[in-house]
Structure formats: structure tokens, C-alpha cells
Structure 1
Amino acid sequence: MWDKINWKKVGIFFGGFAFGTVGLKALFSKDAKKCYTHVTAAALRVKDYTLKRTETLKENCEDIYEDAKDINEDRKAAEEAVFEDTSKSYKEVESTEE
């Protein structure tokens, strides 16, 4: 019976069990809690930084959008002015030909 047992697998099983037990103890230790606290604090700082940068980006995009609308309005007004000038010139030519 003992000659058919794979001692390597038994050793791996008990090694994993021991490592898991020690690992759990390490996860719940005071040092681990302190580490988790510092990591959480860093994550909160990253969150605040990201929100601040996102807000700045949003404001910049709004400014760009408004400037683009102004440029398009100016272009449209300039095109309409050219069209009106052309219409006036055409009417003046018609009235002088008659």
C-alpha cells in the first residue's frame, strides 16, 4: 500500500497547505493592514488627480468648441457679406444696362 503512494504529490499538497496557512496569517497581520491602508490612500490620491485633470480637459474642450463655433459664425458672416456685395453689383449692372 505504501509503495503506491506518490510522495511527491503528498509533499506538494502539505507544502501548499502550509504556504496557504502562512499566507492567510500574513494577509491578516497588522503590517498587511498598514500596507493596505497606504495602497488605498495612494489610490484615492490617483482618483483625485484624475478627476482634477479630467475637469481641466473638459473645460479646455468646451473652450475649443466655443472658439470653433465663433470661427464658423465669422466665416458664415463673411460669406454672406460677399454674396450680398455680389448681388448688389449684379443689380447695379442690370439697372445700368436698361
Structure 2
Amino acid sequence: MLECLTKINWKKVGLFASGTLFGTAGIKVLASDDAKKVYTNCTAAVLRAKETVMNTVTTVQENAEDIYEGAKQINEERAEAKVAAEFAAEAEEEETEETTEDSEAETTEAEETAEEK
């Protein structure tokens, strides 16, 4: 009988017994009222942090919306300015064409008058 006791690895048995003891004590510690207070305080801190983060996110979203609206306004103004510039260029071309036609007509009239004389 003593032979089987010598074959047992007492180090492993001791580790198993210690683990069981600490595990049982750990469960009691984790389920205690003090531990519940710690859990409650940690949860409350997380909720406060969440509220702060959500307020920051809301502020950033509002600023992003303002920036987006400003960018849209700038693009609209540029588009209007481009259309106005194109319109002005077309009007200038038409005036140039009319002036050229008037000059050609005057030249033709001057030539006809010169031929008559």
C-alpha cells in the first residue's frame, strides 16, 4: 500500500488542491457584496464615459453637417459664376460678330461709293 503512495506525484496533487481551494474562494469573493459594489461602480463609470463619448460624437456630427452645407454652398456659387462667365463670353462673341458684320457692311458701302465716283 505504501508503494502506491510513493508513485503519486504530490506536487500535482498539491497544485490541484490549491486550484480547487482558490477557485472556491474566488467564486465566493466574486459573489460577495463588496464585489457587487465594485461591479456597480465600474458599470456606472462606463455609462458616464459612454454619455461623454456620445456628446462628443453629436458635436462632431453637427460640425460635419455645417461643413458639408458650407461646401455645397461654395460649389453652387462656383457653378453660378461659371454659368455667368459663359453667358458673358457668349454675349461678347455676339457683339464681336455684330461689329465685324457692321465693319464689313461699311467697307462694302465705301467700296461701292468709291466705284460710283
TM range (shorter): over 0.9
Counterpart pick for 1:45 among 30, 45, 48: 48
TM-score by length of 2: 0.81
The one-character-per-residue Cα deviations of 1:24-45 (angstroms, maximum 9, x if unpaired) are 1110111101101100100110
Counterpart pick for 1:62 among 41, 57, 65: 65
TM-score by length of 1: 0.96
Residue correspondences, number: 98
Counterpart pick for 2:36 among 8, 33, 38: 33
Higher relative contact order (CA 8 A, sep 6+): 1
Select the structure of larger CA radius of gyration.
2
- In structure 2, how many angstroms separate the alpha carbons of the residues matched to 1:73 and 1:32? 61
RMSD: 0.7
Give secondary structure in 1 for the equivalent of 2:70: helix
2:114 is matched with none
